[in-house]
Structures are given as structure tokens and as C-alpha cells.
Structure 1
Amino acid sequence: MDIASHQKRLITGVVLAAFVFLAMLFQGWVLFTVLALFCAFTLWEFYDLFRDHQGIKTIKSLGTAFTFLLLGAFTNGDLMYPAVITIFAFWISAFIFLFRYSADMTASFVQAMIFLTGLIYIPVNFHFFLKFNRWECVLVIAAAALSDTAAFYAGTMWGDKKIWPKISPKKSWVGSLAGFGACVVGTTAYGLAFGDAPFWQWLLLGAALNIAAQMGDFFESALKRSLAVKDSGHFLPGHGGFLDRVDSLLLVVPTYGLLNSVHPFFP
């Protein structure tokens, strides 16, 4: 990677980190607003991957509205509210399909599946941020960032043997192992300093979060390749789109949320 691209990537990362830091510092409505806007932009990019499908403009508008509804429902603390919103989203998409099919017998239910998948993939996965404390927010973001950064630079410099070329031609075994090591070491060091769990549990958590990060990255790569798309967007210089930047985080967040519900890692 040339120096100019590296500088763009670094500056964009610093700006994003500043926004995240401010959101975590103030939390409350500030965190909700930043998270909701970020989810809306990311979801818009996800739907735009399917731009060749009929009705995507309607899906984009509906998805943005339901992002705010879903995240607002999750702030209540009762899972009944987001469940109702999700069911409502299903029936909205089902009725749109119903009326389109009555007008055109070739109409497909695929649009409804894209709509619902996007809601689960982005706002539902990211809603855990509203439940995490500051230490946990830093942990999951750092785990994803360490995984991506170490894998990127190690793979760029020494990655000759590719790990899954049919899915992601640039990702290498060296990069994968570097990301794994960085995530495990970083998670363990951070956890021992600020958390409340024994050494071996932090090691296992770091391993689980890195595997989640890599699989999240591979999933988005496969999705883009299947749709013949290189980047999800061009809004973030050096990174592509919002979805390109958080593809690994989208699986790290719910993975930590699940493991933390079984065994809390912070007091």
C-alpha cells in the first residue's frame, strides 16, 4: 500500500475513533444518536449492494426508519418491544410483496428477505452497545481493530499463502495468525487490567472474538463477491464504506454479548 493510501486510512481511523470516544464518554442520548446514525448509514450501504433488485429504494427508506425504531425499542430493556418491531417489519414487507404480486405475478419475496436480513445484520447486532458499559465498548472495538489492523499489515508485508482465495483473495495465513495473536494478547492484557475474570478466560475470549472478527470479514467479502461489488461505499477514505469498516465488528459485538450473558467479564 502506498504512503498516500496509508495516510488516508490512518486519518480516517483517528476521526472515527474520536467520534466513538465521545459517544462512550457521554453515553446516554449521545451514544444512542451516534449509534443510530452509524447503523442507518451502514444499513443504507448494505441495501445498496442489492441496487439491481426491484424496490430497493423503498427498502432503504423503510430500513432507515426501522433502525431508529429498533434501537429505541432496545433501550427499554424489555425484549418484547424489539420483538414487536421486528414482527411489524416482517408484516410490512410481506404486505408490500402481497400487493406487488397481485399486480405482477413475477414479483419476488427476495426484497422482503433483504429488508429483514439488513435489520438483523446491523441494528440488531449493534444494539448490544446500548447495554455495554464503557469498558466493554472499548474491549469489543479494540478486539475488532486489533484483529483487522494486525492482519492487514502482516498480510501486506509477508502474506504469500492465501487462506481462502475464493472468498477473499488478499487475506493470508500470516495475516490471519497475526490478527489472532494481536487480538488474544490485547484482550487478555486489557481484561487483566480492567476486568474481573481469570487469565485463561480472557485468553479464550480473545480467541473467540478474533474468530468472530475473521468470519464477519469473510462473510462480507463473500457477499460483495457474489454481487460483483468491490467496496460497500466510498465515504471513508482508505477504508471504503461504513460496512467495509465494521464487517468484523458486526459479529464480534453479538459474540461478546452472548458470552458475557453466560459469564460476566467486568464488575
Structure 2
Amino acid sequence: MDIPAHQKRIATSIGLAIIPALALIFQGWVLFTALAVLCSFALWEYYDLFRSHQGIKTVKSLGTAFAFLLLGAFTTGDLIYPAVVIVFAFWVAAFIFLFRYSTDMTASFVQAMIFLSGLIYIPVNLHFFLNFSPAECILVIGAAAVSDTAAFYAGSMWGKKKIWPKVSPKKSWAGSLGGLTACVIGTTIFGSFLGTAAIWQWILLGAALNIAAQMGDFFESALKRSLEIKDSGRFLPGHGGLLDRVDSLLLVVPVYGLLSAMHPFFQ
């Protein structure tokens, strides 16, 4: 029996919610493992976007290994360790290029840049989860999910005028405003019950997180269009690839990390 696309989206979203829920309940190594697995799958899809470039198979393997090293380094609480891992990753990529270039002068440094950009884009952006409280984890995941879901349905029902057709032809102003409204309302309600900041601060936070979610989505859309790829993968029914599902979260997480460092929303 053929299942409608929106039902697949709902079923997939529910299934995905179970994993972070269990990770938040048990915390510790369970949260680390869940985050490491998420980063590994998302990185694999990210590198696969550049499948037409030579040497991407090596990049995939290296990226997955360094994702675990990076997340492990972040658990120490000392920034010197992840900095060392990133520097080490650069020189590993640089030496691979060096030796390839010594035998083939057409070798390109592009693969090294793809490798390093993947580490920054995914594990570095998501490592903040390791320092968030359960309430903060729920907040950022919920903000990204509500933004995406409300934008999808508002755009489907009322979307006519497109917001940025050259980047994402399907996204409309109605969807954008629907996602913004839902995120601000959801964030404010959540913060009113569990947070310690003022209402107006939660409203501004909701708006900031929604803008981050939309820009994260637009970035991945532009990247895929530049590479002439529709979906990052087929891992999730109704959503495409895992990267397609977490693209907005990849900017929401660091934005909240920055804002919460400037002004705590929970005590």
C-alpha cells in the first residue's frame, strides 16, 4: 500500500524523536553515542554530495574517524583538545594532498577542504549538545522541528509567493512566516514554564532560532543545487537523507550556544 508523503514525514519524525528522547533520559555515554552516530551518518551523506570528486571514499573514512575524535575531545571540557584534533585533521589532509601531488600534479586540494568543512559543519556545530542541559536540548531540537513542520504545512496551504526561488524553489513567504510564528510561540511557552528569562527575551530567542533554522535549510538547499543533487540520501522515508532532516538544526544549535553564553535562559 502506498503511504502518502506527509504520513511518511510524520512517522519518520516520531521515530526520530524517540532516539534523542532516550539519549536525554540516560545522558552520559548514551547521549555521546547517539550524537556520534548522528554525526557519522550525516557526515557520510555530506561527503557523498561531492561524490564526483576524486578521493571522496578516503575522505568519508577519515571524516567518520575524526568525528569520533572531535566529539571525544569536546567531552574533556578543555578547548585545547578539540583544537589539536582540528589542526591534526588539517595536516593529515595536507600530507595526503602532498603525496598525491608528488605523483600526480593534477591532484587537487579540494578534497582536503571538503574533509575539513564537513568536520566544522557537523560535529563541531553539534558538539554543544554535550554541554546543554536536557531542557536546552529539548528547546533547540523543538525549535528546529517546529520551524520546519510549521513552514511545510503553512507553505503547502497558503504558499504562493516564493521567498528565494533561486536557492529553494518550493519555499514561500507564507511558509517562512508560519515557521517563524510557530517557533516564537513554542519557544515562549516552553521558556515560560521551564526557563528563567523574561518573556520578551524568549520571544526574541524564538525569532533568532527560527531565522537560524531557515538559513541552515537554505544553505543545504543551495549546496545541493550547486551539485545538482535533489536529496542528500534516502535514509529517511518522506524526508530524503538524514542531512536533509538536520540541516536547520546545524545552525540552530551553535546560535543558541552563543546566545545562552551571552545571556542564560535557564538557571
Superposed pair shares fold, TM > 0.5: yes
Aligned amino acid, residue 139 of structure 1: L
Identity across aligned pairs (percent)?
A: 76
Aligned residues: 266
The answer for the alignment partner of 1:88 in structure 2 is: 88
The answer for the alignment partner of 1:78 in structure 2 is: 78
Residues 108-167 of structure 1: CA deviation (Å, up to 9, x unaligned): 110000000000000000000000000000000000011000000010111011000000
Aligned amino acid, residue 48 of structure 2: D
Query: What displacement does 1:8 show?
Result: 1.2
The answer for the alignment partner of 1:61 in structure 2 is: 61
Query: What displacement does 1:207 show?
Result: 0.7
SS at match of 1:66: helix
The answer for the alignment partner of 1:227 in structure 2 is: 227
Residues 63-118 of structure 1: CA deviation (Å, up to 9, x unaligned): 00001000000000000000000000000000001011111111111000000000
The answer for the alignment partner of 1:102 in structure 2 is: 102
Query: What displacement does 1:3 show?
Result: 5.9
Aligned amino acid, residue 125 of structure 1: N
Structure 1 Cα separation of the partners of residues 7 and 156 of structure 2: 16
Structure 1 Cα separation of the partners of residues 77 and 44 of structure 2: 26
Residues 5-24 of structure 1: CA deviation (Å, up to 9, x unaligned): 12211111111001110001
Structure 1 Cα separation of the partners of residues 208 and 154 of structure 2: 20
TM-score w.r.t. the length of structure 1 is 0.99
Aligned amino acid, residue 210 of structure 1: N
Query: What displacement does 1:259 show?
Result: 0.5
Equivalent residues in 2 for 1:75-224 (5 A)?
Answer: 75-224=75-224
Aligned amino acid, residue 154 of structure 1: A
Structure 2 Cα separation of the partners of residues 205 and 3 of structure 1: 37
Structure 2 Cα separation of the partners of residues 64 and 180 of structure 1: 34
TM-score w.r.t. the length of structure 2 is 0.99
SS at match of 1:196: coil
Matched, 1:265 2:261: no
Any gaps of 5 or more consecutive residues in structure 1? none
Structure 2 Cα separation of the partners of residues 102 and 137 of structure 1: 47
Structure 1 Cα separation of the partners of residues 202 and 11 of structure 2: 31
Residues 18-57 of structure 1: CA deviation (Å, up to 9, x unaligned): 1110001101000000100010000000000000001000
Aligned amino acid, residue 238 of structure 1: G
The answer for the alignment partner of 1:34 in structure 2 is: 34
Residues 149-186 of structure 1: CA deviation (Å, up to 9, x unaligned): 00000101110110000000000000000000000111
Matched, 1:47 2:47: yes
Equivalent residues in 2 for 1:250-261 (5 A)?
Answer: 250-261=250-261
SS at match of 2:230: coil
C-alpha RMSD over aligned residues: 0.8
SS at match of 2:4: helix
Aligned amino acid, residue 38 of structure 2: F
The answer for the alignment partner of 1:244 in structure 2 is: 244
Structure 2 Cα separation of the partners of residues 115 and 11 of structure 1: 33
The answer for the alignment partner of 1:16 in structure 2 is: 16
Query: What displacement does 1:232 show?
Result: 0.1
Any gaps of 5 or more consecutive residues in structure 2? none
